[in-house]
Amino acid sequence: MRRPAAPRRQRGYSLLEVIVAFALLALALGLLLGTLSGATRQVRWSGDAGRAALHAQSLLDTVGVGQALEPGRVDGEFEDGRYRWSLEVSPWTEGAAPPTRPGAARLLELALTVQWGDGGPRERLQLRSLRLVQGGDAMVMP
């Protein structure tokens, strides 16, 4: 006499195991997409900051070429308003005595600020430079 065979248990995944696997997959994809989103923002910011630096360098290279450079403030924009700039020219006095004779050379400080986006602290580039000008010579700002 043969014994009846024990019923074989089916092999496979239970509904609970499948739900847990999908939950882990969704969590992993959410973390991955968050990381990629942050990386995309960083790449965009880097590109904007690079373009702002190129515009700033170009502007500083042309300041005082062909016209008198005098203390004051000038504002403008690049790329139809995408980048806004402000240039302030003032006499530089740190550690230097003012010229005592008329027509003597003097140093002027150029402070350039380039902003993009909403102009927050991370969307702003500030540069400072010095220019030597003759007291009687004229050099013009753009």
pLDDT in tens, 1-54: 677 666 666 677 888 999 999 999 999 999 998 888 888 888 888 999 999 999
Q: Which residue ranges make up each domain of the chain? A: 15-133
3-state secondary structure the chain: CCCCCCCCCCCCCCHHHHHHHHHHHHHHHHHHHHHHHHHHHHHHHHHHHHHHHHHHHHHHHHCCCCEECCCEEEEEEEHHHCEEEEEEEEECCCCCCCCCCCCCCEEEEEEEEEEECCCCHHHEEEEEEEEEECCCCCCECC
Taking only the tens place, the pLDDT of each residue in 78-95 is 998 899 999 999 998 776
pTM above 0.75, yes or no: no
CATH for the stretch 15-133: 3.30.1300.30
